[in-house]
Structures are given as C-alpha cells and as structure tokens.
Amino acid sequence: MSRTRAAVLGSPIEHSLSPVLHRAAYRELGLDDWTYDRFEIDEAALPGFVAGLGPEWAGFSLTMPLKRAVIPLLDEISDTAAAVEAVNTLVLTEDGRRVGDNTDIPGIVAALHERGVDKVPAAAVLGAGATASSALAALARVCTGEITAYVRSEARADEMRRWGERLGADVRTADWSRAADALRAPLVIATTPAGATDELAAAVPGDPGALFDVLYDPWPTALAAAWSGRGGTLLGGLDLLVHQAVLQVERMTGRTPAPLAAMRAAGERALTAR
C-alpha cells in the first residue's frame, strides 16, 4: 500500500506534540495510509532536505529555527505568513509546488473564539520573542484599541513597534518592570519562556479578564494557576497547538473539518503521561 507522508521539522524536535495531534486526526478521519513523523533538521540541513522530497510528501509542520529559514525555498507564501515573515506550515501540491502558510495566527484567533473572546477594547503582550509577532497579528484581528507590549530592552521595544506598524496594530511599549500593569487588560497574551511570569502571579487582579499563556509544559504556570484561581478565562499552549494543528491537517489532507476534539484529547493524554 502506498503511503502519504507528513512530518514536523525543527531543532530540537524530540518533545514536539505534533505527531500526537496529527496521528490522532488521521485515525479519526480514517486516513490509514497517512504517516506523520518528526525530523531533527536545522537551518543548514533544511535546503538539502527540501530538495530531496519525493511525491509521497503532503506537507510539514515547521518549528524553530525553521520558520523564517524556509521562506527562500518556497514557490508561494500566504499573506498571513508574509505579514510576520514566519512559516509554520509547508504544503506540497500535486504539481510539486511548495506553499508556505502560518496557522499560528488564525489558531490563536480560533482558540480565543472558542472561549468566547471575539473582540476586546485593549490587550497586552508579555514578551517580545518569536511568538510575539504572531500574537500581535492575531490581536490585530480581535483588539479594537491599543495593544501594550511589555519588554525587557529598548531594542525589543523598537522591534514590537515596527511589527505593530507593519500589521496595522496600535502598539505601544512599556518596560518589563511594569509588567504587573498588563494584568488589568481585558486580554493578556504571555509569550515568555517558562518561569518568566512567575513573579506576576501575586499581582493577578480580583476580576481578571482573559489570559492566553502560550506555554504547555510545564502547565499550569504560576501565573495561569493564579489567573484561573481568581475566575479569569484561561487558555494555554495546548489550545494554540491544537487549533493551529487543526488548520494544518485541513490544508495538508484537504479534509474538513479536522477532528478538534479527538486531537485535543490526544494532546491532553500525552501531556499527562509526561
């Protein structure tokens, strides 16, 4: 039986949940002839890997450090991916074209919509790392007013303001020393590494809005636990992973809708087993 292949690429890659999510989708969709693997690929190895792909490949999920490195290797890039100069999805068409897309941005929007967060008058972003530009792009779709990014350096502040201008978002910046102020925003997106927001847990207000903390391991973070304990709407990294993976499955297989519930359940089981 001929098989259709897909995989996740990146470095490091061993802890990626993508195989769990995509394989769960294939089982639910009855795609018994589809496989999904993981490959440790860095920026130097990526061009050779892509050049050697055969017709059995349907697509790839891309994680760090490949989201920007893949762009010169593409035949086409979606407007969404071009807006943030980051591709997390590579689809190979039947005629051999390499098409890049970004499902992180609509994934964030879809996850927020699932929790009833459709439009907010203001928002805050904690951090300015690789995920922050996608967070800003998503907020450009759901925030009708000012977005404040809390960062640790003037260089990062300049970068976030430039992204705001590029994305058409009203972005101002504030020093990380004032990060506790962010928690009063109707929507907060935390894009920082593990432990970076622990110091803010004690500052969660009594009536918090919505927090989207993009981490999933460890989970919950100290900030997420405090937020949930005070009754705020809470989203985590698994919400982002699942919703962006749903869109990847749909783009790679052509089958809609992808099985969100089955994929989420598989991800939850995998995290519990760690």
Q: Which residues are catalytic?
A: 67
CA nearest 217: which of 7, 17, 13, 38?
17
Report the alpha-carbon distance of residue 26 to residue 8 in Å, rounded: 15
CA nearest 274: which of 223, 234, 238?
238
Report the alpha-carbon distance of residue 208 to residue 219 in Å, rounded: 19
- Placement of tokens 């890049």 in the chain: 100
List alpha helices for the chain, DSSP H.
18-29, 46-51, 79-84, 104-114, 132-142, 154-167, 222-229, 237-253, 260-273
For residue 79, what are the CA distances in angstroms to 87, 88, 94, 128?
11, 13, 21, 22
- Both tokens assigned to 152: 């640790």
Through-space distance between the first and last CA atoms of the chain, rounded to whole angstroms: 34
- Both tokens assigned to 243: 């919703």
Q: In a 10 Å sphere around its CB, with 0-12 CB exposed, 13-18 middle and 19+ buried, how is residue 130 labelled?
A: middle
